[in-house]
Structure 1
Amino acid sequence: MPGIVIGLTGGIASGKSTVANILKEKGIPIVDADIIAREVVEIGSETLNKLVETFSPAILHNDGSLDRAALGSIIFHNEEKRQLLNSIMHPSIRKRMKEKTAQYLQEGYSVVVMDIPLLFESKLTHLVDKTIVVYVDEEVQLKRLMERNTLSKDEALARIHSQMPLKEKKNLADFVIDNNGSLNETTTQLQEIIQKIQA
């Protein structure tokens, strides 16, 4: 039986990392888009060389590693340059994610999870068989984000509203984990979903 690839997503402070950690504890491999995004620009990588060619060597630290702040300041106010960055980064991230997932499946795992924050926004659902959204109500999300990042209400709301609303993601998902409650409740929901998917 071929393995199943699950796309895990959520919103800022919705508890997606918590769910990813529970999955890891259960021995389910996670292919994390954020980690891959760092891996593909390691020193000497093809992607980093392309970025330097495109944006100048000023985006490197003295040791040859990527200076994210310098790159950020180049693309921050420039939509065209941001698109250019994405056109270099996204294909290499997708390629590496596919390779890692295929590797886990070959090793015999029946379920592999791709942890992709912008799963719906970046239209990456074609990479996965089923999608899970970690959902919280906006007031819970707001409270958690303000506490976690010590932000004012306005700052926290600005970050939440810069993403696709969780209500929309909830409607697009195959499965929804309601993370408004306790860790136990979240774990139970997750177990039930994994059983359904495996069945």
Structure 2
Amino acid sequence: MLIVGLTGSIGMGKSTAAARFREHGIAVFDADAEVHRLYAGPIAVEIEQVFPGVTEGGVVNRAKLSQQLLGNPDRFKNLESIVHPRIRESERRFVQEEHARGAPIAVLEVPLLFEAGGFEKVDVIIVVSASSEVRRARVLPRPGMTETKFETIVHRQLSEAEKKKRADFVVDTNGTVANCNSQIDLIVGKLRERQGQAYDHYWRD
């Protein structure tokens, strides 16, 4: 099985690219969606212990958590120490389940693929990319988003130039969804010709 890492900073178009992979019948693990699920209960108590006052009814209030993090960015490490191990567990289950059902390709959609070290455990890296102007137009209108929050998120991540340098494929999402889809279609054709090694090295046990 070929394991693909799909990544890119906020507002780059990862979800659009992931949707196209799913249309090809390729399963995608969505790390952001998994974080939402974990915040809704499984790790809420742990987060409340480290960030008092950020939960309501046993669920993490993301706005309150963001406020604490923006006031002290160094505390991202405390949050990551809780979240990242659980994400890795979920990734492993996903990969092993896809392998067990005989899937030829599986995609891990992970915003912090490089920053969290996940790039070492995939066969292929795809980076989605868009201009700063396009990203801001996509992200700033989102509920609860501010200029400060946006900049904090961007500055915590590897530079765009470095991500592109490390990528096997770069998808330009500045244009239409149809244009993005056509790029993914071409990539999928190339991926189907490749053999993966990452599963045996990192995910089998």
Q: Structure 1 length as normaliser, TM-score? A: 0.80
Alignment partner for residue 54 of structure 2, among 53, 59, 67?
Answer: 59
Q: Deviations over 1:59-97 (max 9, x none)?
A: 221x22222233333333224533211111111111112
Q: Does 1:186 align with 2:180?
A: yes
- In 1, the alpha carbon distance for the partners of 2:34 and 2:66 equals 18
Structure 1 gap ranges (5+)? none
Q: Percent identity?
A: 31
Counterpart of 1:86 in structure 2 is 80
Contact 1:76 1:82 survives alignment (8 Å): no
* Residues 81 and 165 (structure 1), Cα distance of their counterparts in 2 relative to 1, 3 Å cut: closer
Counterpart of 2:14 in structure 1 is 16
Structure number with bigger Rg? 1
- In 1, the alpha carbon distance for the partners of 2:101 and 2:50 equals 37
Q: Does 1:36 align with 2:41?
A: no
1:167 Cα deviation after fit: 2.3
Counterpart of 1:142 in structure 2 is 133
1:158 Cα deviation after fit: 4.1
For 2:60, what is the secondary structure of its paired residue? coil
Structure 2 gap ranges (5+)? 194-205
Q: Deviations over 1:107-153 (max 9, x none)?
A: 222111110112112221123211001123x3xx41353266349xx
Counterpart of 2:198 in structure 1 is none
Counterpart of 2:121 in structure 1 is 127
Q: Structure 2 length as normaliser, TM-score? A: 0.78
- In 2, the alpha carbon distance for the partners of 1:95 and 1:175 equals 27
For 1:76, what is the secondary structure of its paired residue? helix
Contact 1:36 1:97 survives alignment (8 Å): no
For 1:24, what is the secondary structure of its paired residue? helix
* Residues 169 and 110 (structure 1), Cα distance of their counterparts in 2 relative to 1, 3 Å cut: same
- In 2, the alpha carbon distance for the partners of 1:86 and 1:144 equals 24
For 2:9, what is the secondary structure of its paired residue? coil
- In 1, the alpha carbon distance for the partners of 2:184 and 2:141 equals 29
